């Protein structure tokens, strides 16, 4: 009873899907013996592997059971568990001798399945099945909540680390500004930014300090933007600015300001100035007439800047150490 209490208490403690599945696997091992575990999630009409651990797990990582076929697909289709099925009907040459499949239930019906494998023939008893069925509802709910949270994160337009708009929001804003500038004939400039050598912050000072650097950099750039400028984090150490009505002759000063901000934040966070900004830019409509073409042109210029920074990095650092990003 104590193990069951701990099981039901722990598996709902996280909203991260990866963490939830890891806890499910660990807690199930405390309840019964098995040599393999896999979790498959139903995405439209596909059963996609989300977790595979144990004996020959790699063979299941690329396996997508077919609904209504094989032990896993059948259990999901009929929404009933399958006990001591032949694993070779799913994936041959695994060494497993028996398979127990428990379907997962979501609000709209089947949401996937948990499959346990044993190296022993008839490795699972009716008691094992009843035990799993007793926690089936809790398992399904925990995984369903984690899936909903993941979907909410994917749908949001806010980057959780920096509080800036994310890549999705950047594309939406860029599309809006292009449409406006096409109507009005106004200038529009975008600037792409990534940090030359950022990996060294994580390596030397740790990931937490790397996150602090990104947060302070985001705040510093935003504080130096006009009210109607749009700054977004695209992911990692990559940012993009959408600058309506910024004329091309004002662009060099803007690029210089960004270089100074990166150096200043590096000095503030790391007590050194070994980072530099790689900068690219594009001007509407000269460099492109839609978001994809503008970003492609800006990224091309950023790549050229990155190559130039790498060539000059050893001289800047005063050493023969090769440049790293």
CATH code of the domain containing 277: 3.30.70.270
Q: Where are the alpha helices (DSSP H) in 32-69?
A: 57-61
Residue 250 resides in a domain: yes
Q: Which two tokens stand for residue 7?
A: 């099981």
Q: 182 and 151 in one domain?
A: no
- Which residues, at least 6 apart from 23, have a Cβ–Cβ distance to it below 8 Å? 10, 11, 13, 14
- Which among 110, 125, 155 is the end of a domain? 155
Whether 150 is covered by a domain: the verdict is yes
CA-CA distance, 243 to 231, in Å (whole number)? 9
75 and 95 belong to one structural domain: yes
**Is 109 part of any domain?**
yes
Please give the model's pTM, rounded to 2 decimal places. Answer: 0.54
> In terms of domains, do 122 and 256 share one?
no
> In terms of domains, do 108 and 193 share one?
no
What CA–CA distances, in Å, run from 208 to 161, 196, 268?
Answer: 11, 18, 15
Residue 89, domain extent: 2-155
**Which residues does 161 contact at the CB level (< 8 Å), separation at least 6?**
211, 214, 215, 233
Domain boundary among 95, 128, 155: 155
Q: How far apart are CA 138 and CA 135, in angstroms?
A: 5
Domain count, the chain: 2
Q: Which two tokens stand for residue 316?
A: 């800047």
Q: Are residues 201 and 131 in the same domain?
A: no
CB-CB contact of 94 with 56 (8 Å): yes
- CA distance readout (Å), 132 to 10, 37, 82, 127: 16, 13, 12, 9
Of 132, 155, 178, which residue sits at a domain end?
A: 155
Q: Are residues 28 and 128 in the same domain?
A: yes
- Tell me, yes or no, whether 145 and 193 share the same domain: no
Residue of 303, 292, 286, 297 whose CA lies nearest to 188: 286
What secondary structure does DSSP assign to 189-253, as a single string? Answer: EEEEEEEETHHHHHHHH-HHHHHHHHHHHHHHHHHTS-TT-EEEEEETTEEEEEEET--GGGHHH
Whether residue 6 is found in the same domain as residue 149: yes
- Cα separation, 14 vs 151, whole angstroms: 15
At 33, list the tokens. Answer: 């013996």
183 and 303 share one domain: yes
What are the helix (H) ranges across 13-115? 17-31, 57-61, 70-78
**Residue 321 has what DSSP assignment?**
P
Candidates 78, 77, 58, 147; CA nearest to 107 is 147
Residues 189 and 125 in one domain: no
pLDDT tens across the length of the chain (325 residues): 556 556 666 676 677 888 888 888 888 988 899 999 999 999 888 999 998 999 888 888 889 999 999 999 999 999 999 999 999 999 887 899 999 999 998 777 888 999 999 999 999 999 999 999 988 888 888 888 888 888 887 778 889 899 999 999 999 999 999 999 998 899 999 999 999 989 889 888 888 999 999 999 999 999 999 999 999 999 999 999 999 999 989 999 999 999 999 999 999 999 988 899 999 999 999 999 999 999 999 999 999 998 887 777 654 443 334 344 4
């Amino acid at each position: 009873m104590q193990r069951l209490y701990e099981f039901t208490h722990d598996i709902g403690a996280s909203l991260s899907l990866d963490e939830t599945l890891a806890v499910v696997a660990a807690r199930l091992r405390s309840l019964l013996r098995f040599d393999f575990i896999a979790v498959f999630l139903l995405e439209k009409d596909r059963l996609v592997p989300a977790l595979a651990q144990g004996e020959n797990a790699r063979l299941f990582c690329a396996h997508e059971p077919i609904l209504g076929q094989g032990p896993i697909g059948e259990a999901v289709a009929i929404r009933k568990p399958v006990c001591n099925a032949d694993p070779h009907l799913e994936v041959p040459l695994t060494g497993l001798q028996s398979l127990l499949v428990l379907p997962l239930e979501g609000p709209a019906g089947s949401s996937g399945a948990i499959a346990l494998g044993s190296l022993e023939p008839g490795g699972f008893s009716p008691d094992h099945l009843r035990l799993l069925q007793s926690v089936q509802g809790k398992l399904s709910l925990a995984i369903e909540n984690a899936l909903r949270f993941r979907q909410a994160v994917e749908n949001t337009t806010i980057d959780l680390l920096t509080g800036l708009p994310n890549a999705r929001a950047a594309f939406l804003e860029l599309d809006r500004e292009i449409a406006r500038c096409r109507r009005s004939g106004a200038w529009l400039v975008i600037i792409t930014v990534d940090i030359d050598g950022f990996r060294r912050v994580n390596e030397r000072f740790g990931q937490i300090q790397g996150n602090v650097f990104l947060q302070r950099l985001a705040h510093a750039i935003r504080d130096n933007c006009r009210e109607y400028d749009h700054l977004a984090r695209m992911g990692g150490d990559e940012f993009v600015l959408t600058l309506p009505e910024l004329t091309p002759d004002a662009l060099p000063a803007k690029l210089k300001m960004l270089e100074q901000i990166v150096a200043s934040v590096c000095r503030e966070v790391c007590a050194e100035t070994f980072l530099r900004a790689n900068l690219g830019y594009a001007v509407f409509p000269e460099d492109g007439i839609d978001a994809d073409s503008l970003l492609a042109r800006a990224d091309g210029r950023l790549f050229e800047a990155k190559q130039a920074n790498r060539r000059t990095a050893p001289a800047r650092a005063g050493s023969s150490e090769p440049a790293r990003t």
